[in-house]
Amino acid sequence: MDAQHSELLHEIHRELKTLTQKVESAFVKDDDGVPDFVGHRTFHKKVSEQEQVFKQNRVKVLRDITTWAIIGIVTIIGSSLFTTYILHSPVVK
């Protein structure tokens, strides 16, 4: 039973070591050769902040485009109404 228990512990240790190596290889190494967890977290925080700024700018641009499209449509309708009802009315002639 002890040999079986020992073999199981060695297998768990090998798996844990493999998983640890995979996790550490996912992170950039710092100057000391150690995974830079803080730098990784900082990078993701910066990317998240950039995404928020991008979303805010996208909303602003979409709002500006919508505003100018509505102004254009109202201008076209207004000029059509002016041409149709004011310039062609019997009172003006």
State yes or no: pLDDT of 5 exceeds 80: yes
**Contact (CB, 8 A) for 36 and 27:** yes
State yes or no: pLDDT of 91 exceeds 80: no
Query: Distance between CA atoms of 72 and 15, rounded to whole angstroms?
Result: 66
Identity of the amino acid at 46 = K
What does the domain layout of the chain look like in residue ranges? 1-35, 36-93
Phi and psi angles of residue 26, each rounded to the nearest 5 degrees, phi first: -75, -15
Please write the tens of the pLDDT for every residue from 17-69: 988 887 777 777 778 877 778 888 898 999 999 999 999 999 999 999 999 99
SS3 content of the chain, % helix, strand, coil (to 5): 80, 0, 15
